[in-house]
Structure 1
Amino acid sequence: MEQAPQRYAVVTGANKGIGIEIINNAGIGGLVIKDNDLVPQVLFQSRELSDDVIEKAGIVQTFELAEECLQINYYGAKRTSEALLPFLQLSESPRIVNVSSSLGKLKCVSNEWAKGILGDAENLTEERVDEVLNEFLKDIKEGCLERKGWPKVLGAYIISKAAMNAYTRIVAKKYPTICINSVCPGYVKTDITANTGILTAEEGAASPVKIALLSNASSGLFYSQNEIAKAKPCSLSVNCSKFIKLRWKILHKVVTGANKGIGLEIVRQLASNGVKVVLTSRDEKRGLHALKTLKDLSGFVLFHQLDVADPASVASLADFIKSKFGKLDILVNNAGVSGVVIKDTDLLPSLILKGEELSDDEIEKARSQTYELAQDCLQINYYGAKRTSESLLSLLQLSDSPRIVNVSSFLGQLKCVLNEWAKGVFKDADNLTEEKIDMVLNEFLEDFKEGRLESKGWPKAISAYVLSKAALNAYTRILAKKFPTFCINSVCPGYVKTDMTSNTGFITVEEGAASPVRLALLPNGSPSGFFYDRSQISFY
């Protein structure tokens, strides 16, 4: 087998913090803060600070510090990029990642003239960026920052990162074959934040590393961690410090069935994004073992036993969350079982992807299913998710961004529900009720018990699983209609390599977890009541 070509990378400022974890990240703040307890306030509320607070913080912002900040954060990155561009052009997949900051977004550049220049993408040039920086330095030297409308606390840092973002767009336009982006890694515990950050250096480094390894990616963009952020300045009524405070408020989340597979990876990815996550598992021993595998994220993950089929266990979880956090922001209903016993793993992909096309002999050779397994499947996959949601709804209502993500399957789409009566009930969105879902599931179980699945037109390959996921999708629509201030969606994560698929899937758990995580972190006003096939809205 031919080996992939060796790739080479340069990381600046990499002796500590994010830089050593990434192993373009050299950077300094451009000021001195004597009181470390006030660092978060200085970073997040810089435009709202009174002169008294600034004095109490002992903030020193001199011309010399500002000059050094611009020289390192902007001109240093520019100088390094220019020196290495000839070598980058020899690469088959050249990448430049400029580690920036959310403070470098145009909404934080309070000088309107500077904002106008840096926001004019069509006419941006390096000379115009120089013009802005020279004017800033001139005004700080003459003591007229506040009068000229420049940021008064983190001026040099903000302007240096805004210049960096502008330069990213210029170079991306100039070198279309190079993938060049800037990224805010988040509020990270480093020397530059006096270790007051929320994310670890490992978590902060993840975003630049991901962008450095992107394939066929867009260029000239600004990423806020893993998400592409708006390049243009937002409305002037949006206050920068309020934006940052919103982004970094602590969210609290529950993931059911999270001791392994997709559930565990959802926990990992959310915790890496600064979300406090309650990892749950029916088996306490396995849950605690899973918790140990996330020891690097111990500040963001805790465990609580949960059997979604047991009302007392669900009530215990609700009491725990109420006493621990007082509210809940995100619920991911991931707990699930297949409802069958696999006899031949080699036949599993055919059973999942082409189940109803297989002969009875092929199906019987691949799996066995019983009434008891079907009952258990409905109790966990549908009633368990419903029971957990209902128990936690009052806590979710206390959040200003409540989210419920129901991990479903493409097998729960209506095209897989062969019984025409059941399909008609689920399809009638305007008249859907929980009682009608119960009616369908009870009819299915009765026909299963009496051996009438095939004669009544029910799915025969993975019967209970299909019905449980179709019911979950229907419940998603009912709940979204009932709670319009919530964002509630169901999602098929794809055919993932997990124990449930006997590791026959096409995608990794990391790739599979990405879709539920994305839905869990959707901004307010996002679509609700939909079924997603991975990242795309699909048909029920």
Structure 2
Amino acid sequence: MNGTLKVALVTGANKGIGYEIAKQLGEKGITVLIGARDAARGQEAERSLKDQGIEARFVRLDVTDQPSIDEAYHYIADKFGKLDILVNNAGIFLEEPLPSRNDVGTMQQVFDTNLFGVFRVTKAMLPLIRLSEQGRIVNASSSLGSLTLMGDPNFELAPFLVLGYNTSKTAVNALTRFFANELMDTPIKVNAADPGYCATEMNGFTGYRAPQQGARAAVWLATLPADGPTGGFYNEEGPLPW
């Protein structure tokens, strides 16, 4: 395998922001692996990207299912021998009542995908990322996970008090810092990206930003130069408060 070839795995890449992240990375000449649970939708995304001249391959990957993650790892190891970029984009949003009326089952379901899924995939793929000359890990977060902004009544998304989703993103930010600290003495950079309030299937297409815009921060962080930041939380305009 050509050592100059860059390979990126994007989870939840068959639609929405994940698809746009894969597309924008592919437009930079990076081979993109479309991580998706649904084979039909993953293959459709692969065909769509290939029709646009992008080197794309569907990889079945369910972030809540360790065997599928292990299979994806072995596929990437056998086919490419390394992984340069991991974008942990897959996530879910469930309608939730006020915290006092919520239930543990809903919280567990959201955390299983949004937090533990990030942890599972990152831990599994890290040996391959260590083989890259400039490994990059980007975790999809949200300004809704900012403890600072949660307490600001003037924050534009202040009404969105969704316990499971918001706190899962707070935890993703913490996980980002932990991995960044562990990898501080390596070329690997680990950051969290906020796409903003984008119109996607997850929110019933109510967002005011396009998925193409939402992908920008993740793509920037996935292609940082050697002197770029690590352990941070950013949108496309710059750092966000924890």
**TM-score, normalised on structure 2?**
0.89
Asked if residue 531 in structure 1 is aligned to residue 240 in structure 2, the reply is: no
Q: CA deviation at 1:383?
A: 0.4
- Could you tell me which of 21, 28, 38 is aligned with 1:283? 38
Residue 330 of structure 1: aligned partner: 85
Residue 154 of structure 2: aligned partner: none
1:293-317 deviation digits (Å, cap 9, x = unpaired): 2232465100011100111111111
CA distance in 2, matches of 1:370, 1:263: 29
* Mapping 1:111-122, distance limit 5 Å: none
Secondary structure (helix, strand or coil) at the match of 2:139 reads strand
Asked if residue 510 in structure 1 is aligned to residue 212 in structure 2, the reply is: yes
1:371-405 deviation digits (Å, cap 9, x = unpaired): 33321110000000110000000000001100000
- Asked if 2 retains the 8 angstrom alpha-carbon contact of 1:340 and 1:373, the reply is no
Residue 173 of structure 2: aligned partner: 473
Question: 1:334–1:460: structure 2 CA closer, same or farther, 3 Å change rule?
Answer: closer
Q: Which is further off, 299-308 or 469-478?
A: 299-308
Letter in 2 for 1:301: A
CA distance in 2, matches of 1:517, 1:315: 25
- Could you tell me which of 296, 302, 321 is aligned with 2:57? 302
Asked if residue 406 in structure 1 is aligned to residue 139 in structure 2, the reply is: yes
Asked if residue 253 in structure 1 is aligned to residue 8 in structure 2, the reply is: yes
* Mapping 1:436-455, distance limit 5 Å: none
Residue 393 of structure 1: aligned partner: 126
Contiguous gaps of at least 5 residues in structure 2: 152-158
Q: CA deviation at 1:258?
A: 0.7
Residue 67 of structure 2: aligned partner: 312
Q: CA deviation at 1:417?
A: 6.1
Residue 377 of structure 1: aligned partner: 110
CA distance in 2, matches of 1:534, 1:407: 13
Question: 1:281–1:382: structure 2 CA closer, same or farther, 3 Å change rule?
Answer: same
- Asked if 1 retains the 8 angstrom alpha-carbon contact of 2:143 and 2:240, the reply is no
Higher helix share: 1
CA distance in 2, matches of 1:306, 1:315: 9
Secondary structure (helix, strand or coil) at the match of 2:33 reads strand
CA distance in 2, matches of 1:297, 1:398: 29
- Could you tell me which of 482, 485, 491 is aligned with 2:182? 482
Counting matched residue pairs gives: 231
CA RMSD of aligned residues (A): 2.3
CA distance in 2, matches of 1:530, 1:383: 20
- Asked if 1 retains the 8 angstrom alpha-carbon contact of 2:198 and 2:206, the reply is yes
- Asked if 2 retains the 8 angstrom alpha-carbon contact of 1:254 and 1:332, the reply is yes
CA distance in 2, matches of 1:264, 1:387: 21
Secondary structure (helix, strand or coil) at the match of 1:476 reads helix
- Asked if 1 retains the 8 angstrom alpha-carbon contact of 2:14 and 2:35, the reply is yes
Secondary structure (helix, strand or coil) at the match of 1:474 reads helix
CA distance in 2, matches of 1:496, 1:460: 14
* Mapping 1:46-195, distance limit 5 Å: none
Higher relative contact order (CA 8 A, sep 6+): 2
Contiguous gaps of at least 5 residues in structure 1: 1-245, 342-359, 419-458
Residue 415 of structure 1: aligned partner: 148
- Asked if 2 retains the 8 angstrom alpha-carbon contact of 1:339 and 1:369, the reply is no
Say which one has the larger Rg. 1
- Asked if 2 retains the 8 angstrom alpha-carbon contact of 1:378 and 1:464, the reply is yes
* Mapping 1:338-349, distance limit 5 Å: 338-340=93-95
- Could you tell me which of 11, 22, 29 is aligned with 1:274? 29
CA distance in 1, matches of 2:39, 2:103: 27
CA distance in 1, matches of 2:143, 2:128: 30
Letter in 2 for 1:514: R
CA distance in 2, matches of 1:514, 1:533: 8
Identity of aligned residues (%): 39
- Could you tell me which of 519, 525, 530 is aligned with 2:221? 519
Letter in 2 for 1:480: A
Higher strand share: 2
Secondary structure (helix, strand or coil) at the match of 1:500 reads helix
Residue 196 of structure 2: aligned partner: 494
- Asked if 1 retains the 8 angstrom alpha-carbon contact of 2:190 and 2:231, the reply is yes
CA distance in 1, matches of 2:28, 2:45: 19
CA distance in 2, matches of 1:306, 1:398: 21
Letter in 1 for 2:223: L
Q: CA deviation at 1:416?
A: 5.5
